[in-house]
Amino acid sequence: MLQVANLRENKANAIKGLLKRNIDNAETLIDEVIALDDKRKSIQQELDAVLAESNQISKSIGLLMKEGKKEEAEEVKAKTAELKQKSKSLQEDAQTVEQELTTKLYQLPNVPHPSVVKGKGEDDNEILLEHGEKPDLYAGKKPHWDLIKDYDIIDFDLGIKITGAGFPVYKGKGARMQRALLNFFLDEAEKQGFKEIQPPVVVNEASGIGTGQLPDKEGQMYHIEDTDLYLIPTAEVPVTNIFRDEIINEEDLPIKLTAYTPCFRKEAGSWGAHVRGLNRLHQFDKVEIVQVQHPDKSYQALEEMSEYIQSLLKKLELPYRVLRLCGGDLGFTSALTYDMEVWSAAQEKWLEVSSVSNFENYQSNRLKLRYKDADKKKHLLHTLNGSALAFPRILAAILENNQTEKGIKVPEVLQKYTGFEWID
């Protein structure tokens, strides 16, 4: 959530940034926020004055009674009752305006970093680098949705029988590959100083609001109505919410955590021929990395996280490219996001497998996540997260890029985890 003080002080920059997101009424929205904040302050000043007057009068009642001025004391009591009623009314007004202000702020996404370019969607994203050679496969190459049937390692029909579309069942070497990816990603994250945790995979509404999934993306989350809980779309939500309402000592920064979880997404309106097989699922596995960082060091941390995720793709021997998302494709809460895409040789297309983002203090403002500096002053922290990595499209690329007439060669780095070199 954006800070009103920053919108006041840096209004022109905020408008310029939000225009990159194609929010043409950015100035109007910001003016409405500032007007509501002015109204809130005005009501609070009046309320403070009424409470102060009521306090002062209450003290005088005792003195008047001691002096035997009962009649005057009764008049003062009547005045106190009026002030109490007025203060109650002002408190209700203040609460209403505060809620209106919060709702309006929830409608404003994060202001993009200056390096983010204006754009309408994914076609306007900037390609920053491309690494590795695209494999030249044999004439009989197949997309992964055919390969998984040939080798009986993933069953979509069985998933439909048990649950529905988008919930595959992994079998035999397919299940072993999932476990291998899980252990490989967690082991590598630990080497990079990320502490592993195992969070819940359901969260409450406050957690969804804290990281920005609610109320902005409510339609994409599975809601358990009788408990008012939500299935997580990513481990970012429970992991980052560990620090909701916390004050961190500056010397304890940075905080680096990693977690494996299943993830659940409705993916409403996103189905079609271009998302066959593992390309898009309702349930999938992912290892997430999260950082809580000092504001002065968050962009250095973002670059380091990007380089780390790229190192995983190199070890898996997957050709990849890195994109900087344009304003129109940037996530609601992000100030800057890099996407990592791997080349899927049989589909002959790039598949997004990771996003790494700096949210600056947007999430922290919602979470009330702060740190104390050496002078004991409190400041909002910066939060970052990245997929390191999401399993389905990584597995799809591994299957397609490593297929041969003999079978599918398992990347060398995974063989100690799988216990086999070939899927055949």
Annotated binding site for L-serine: 234, 265, 288, 385
Nearest Cα neighbor of 48 from 77, 5, 86 is: 86
Binding residues for ATP: 265-267, 352-355
Binding residues: 234, 265-267, 288, 352-355, 385
Give the containing element (helix H, strand E) for 127. Answer: strand 126-131
Query: CB neighbours of 120 closer than 8 A, spacing ≥ 6?
Result: 22, 326, 328
Handedness of CA 120, 384, 338, 3 (dihedral sign): positive
Cis check for the bond before 389: say yes or no (omega within 30 of 0).
yes
Cβ contact 157:355 at 8 Å: no
Cβ contact 64:77 at 8 Å: no
Helix then strand then coil, in percent of the chain rounded to 5, is 50, 20, 30
Give the containing element (helix H, strand E) for 7. Answer: helix 4-9
Q: Residue for token digits 């790039």?
A: 350
Q: What is the CA radius of gyration of the chain?
A: 27
